[in-house]
A and B are shown apart, each in its own frame.
Chain A
Amino acid sequence: MGETSADAVAPAGGVGPAGPLTPEAEAAKLLPFLASGARADLQAAAAKHVLALTGSGPGRALLAGQAALLRALVDLAVAPAPAPASDAARALVNLAADPGLHDPLLAAEPGLPARLLGRALDPQWPCAEEAAAALANLSREPAPCAALMAALVAAAPGESGLEQLVLALCTPGYNARAPLHYLGPVLSNLSQRPAARAFLLDPDRCVVQRLLPLTQYPDSTVRRGGVVGTLRNCCFEHRHHEWLLGPKVDILPFLLLPLAGPEDFSEEEMERLPVDLQYLPPDKQREPDPDIRKMLIEAIMLLTATASGRQQVRDQGAYLILRELHSWEPEPHVRVTCEKLIQVLIGDEPEHGMENLLEVQVPEDVEQQLQQLDRQEQEQCEREQQERELAPEPRAEGAAPT
């Protein structure tokens, strides 16, 4: 039986561009080879072809209309060995990166978030990294993010499925075949949802505390960025600021440490810093990714929203670190963010009744003025950026302070 079918499909083995067929018809022809029950080598070839299609906009648009094919692709991507799941999983990553595909994907397979989640958190699953990456892409949009959140709640009744996700993220070697860096952005996206933040910030548990050391995770910008994004989102919850800044969590040193360089502070200044920032070695590197640096500064900025938060941030010597960062920072837009935070730290306290910066009502005219200023600032940054790109040499000289 196998032999005959092999003969039968031989001409179709070259699933490449066939002349007279429309692209839609061609894609539809792939379906039988991709579907479960097909021979593994044919599945692999079909998946490879689909993967190639997902690399281009028109290819993805084409696939968006093929619900059955998408369903088969999902089935294959989560199918256990010996099915060739990896290319199908990669194709899903590409598709999920395109927000235009989210609706077709979820329509074709409403259980997609749950199925990917199961694979991403399966310690034995060889394609868990792809599953996590597809989830990270999917969860960027509100609707799939909500679906993922629902899947997490359903996955582990009683105990939050988020705990499993955090565990996988915080346990080195959780899956020997996948580092699961992409769980960082997954968590970051999830933390936009109040329910996720409520879990992360549950004072009766130890969740956010376990994430903190990952702000220094050396091996992956993706993981670091995801964790820092998660922490920043958590910092919007000003009711939790006191707890976050207090001894039970002590979040500030973990936000400041990646921003700190190898500066040698005086003994007196050193004593004012949190222990984690004291006596850093001369080869201490700052966070290399400017976007992550910016998020770290923004997170600290959020923590200064309340009067007591500002006090706690000031007391822990944040200014010293930011001062040094500011004189070092090569990226204009990060430097601007840094300046704003420094202004809050060294500026006067706001008037009575306006202490909580996250709750202050901004009058419309003031808001418009501020937006105008933001635009100017943005333009200024872009100009600087352009100047730097056009004339890197003199610019480098100009940026003398090292």
Chain B
Amino acid sequence: MEGPELEAISDDAMDSFLEKFQSQPYRGGFNEDQWEEEFEKIPLFMKKTPSEIDPKENPDLACLQSIIFDEERSPEEQAKTYKDEGNDYFKEKDYAKAVISYSEGLKKKCEDADLNAVLYTNRAAAQYYLGNIRSALNDVTAARKLKPCHLKAIVRGALCHLELKNFAEALNWCDEGLQVDAKEKKLLEMRAKADKLKRTEQRDIRKAKVKEKKEQNQNKALLHAIKARNIRLVSEAASEDEDSASEDLGELFLDGLSSENPYGARLSVDDQGRLSWPVLFLYPEYAQSDFISTFHEDSRFIDHLMVMFGEMPSWDSEQKYCPDNLEVYFEDEDRAELYRVPPKSTLLQVLQHPRYFVKALTPAFLVCVGSSPFCRNYLQGRKVHQVK
């Protein structure tokens, strides 16, 4: 749109302006090849405003902008213009830009408290849709300071609290809003919802407490059962420092119980007060292991071995791991000594052995084929006791 200043043109001038084209071609028209792009650059026909208005790229737009946001206009007028701009962005769901517009409006620090309250409330709405619930809450709080009865701010605030799961606060905001308008539908609905959620949350808290208490009691019963059997526990964390370990054993034990071990099994007590342990069998020859999730303390090792080795395991390439050949050991780690366990003894008998320490609440045993060269090699140089 280069060319003479339009506003200076009078009728005469217009005539002469038009006559001019009798002798020379009009140069202000669109270029046939790229008319669409050029068309888009005219503010009136723009489908979208550019995110940044560059005076070089869009001189017309920059002009218009400077007219709209004329620094000589009153702060109220400018703030209002920003509010309208923000509302337009909001309608287009461009919430980030809406926030910027409303913020600009607030920066004008105009004296109109109602207008500022609206700017805060609208910015809160935009923030809410952006997921910035805390910022939204700050804005509605600011809006209510300016205009305590601003219903939209109260509704938005209640929504924010609901979103943040502050149900009691949401209820308060609803009640305060209903003081302004006792029949506000949105508030009535939200209040019922917040109330329901609050009560459900309270139930969940009570339920968790009951569950926790139950677990504590169970754990205490288990600890008692272990102590009554004279079974020694050792926690991996505490094994460094024996003295304090014995002091804190109960606590450490309870900690260990509340978290299930990696295999998802845990020590349990049945109706007869008998314990079942999760037990680990290690096969050092093949670096294999088996995990028995519930090994009843009165079951014998042979019982489990019979079942487990009723069929050859796939890793047993030499097919020698049959129940009759198997030897069971446990390790006394402190002394680096081994104890051979008769397969016919029960788990309880072994756990009560004075040199048996249950680690991480999961007893572990080494199993190998007694006659194998590996076993002889493995046991060589280590002291091996026989458990009677």
Contacts and interface: CB of A to CB of B under 8 A. Distances in A.
Interface of A: 159, 163, 167, 170, 204-206, 209-210, 247-248, 250, 253, 275-276, 278-281
Contacts of A247: 192, 196
Contacts of B179: 167
Given A204-B183, A206-B188, A248-B192, A280 B178 contact: no
B182 A281 contact: no
Interface residues of B, number: 20
Given A247-B192, A248-B192, A206 B178 contact: yes
Contact of A209 (B191, B203, B207): B191
A279 B187 CA distance: 30
Contacts of B183: 204-205
B182 A279 contact: no
B199 A209 contact: no
5 contacts: A205-B183, A206-B187, A209-B192, A275-B202, A278-B207
Nearest to B189: A248
Interface string B313-332: 00000000000000000000
B207 A276 contact: no
Task: Give me the 7 closest cross-chain CB pairs, A-B, nearest first.
Answer: A279-B206, A275-B203, A279-B207, A204-B183, A279-B210, A205-B182, A278-B203
A167 to B, nearest CB: 7
A247 B195 CA distance: 10
Contacts of A209: 191-192, 195
Contacts of B192: 209, 247-248
B239 interface: no
Nearest to B206: A279
A275 B191 contact: no
A250 B188 CA distance: 14
Contacts of A205: 178, 182-183, 188
A232 B298 CA distance: 61
A245 B347 CA distance: 58
Most buried by B among A250, A278, A280: A278
A163 B182 contact: yes
Given A206-B174, A275-B203, 8 more contacts: A206-B187, A206-B188, A209-B192, A209-B195, A247-B192, A253-B199, A275-B199, A278-B203
A55 to B, nearest CB: 41
B20 interface: no
Nearest to A210: B175
B209 interface: yes
Contacts of A210: 175
Contacts of A167: 179
B206 A278 contact: yes
B216 interface: no
Given A163-B182, A210-B175, A275-B199, A280 B206 contact: yes
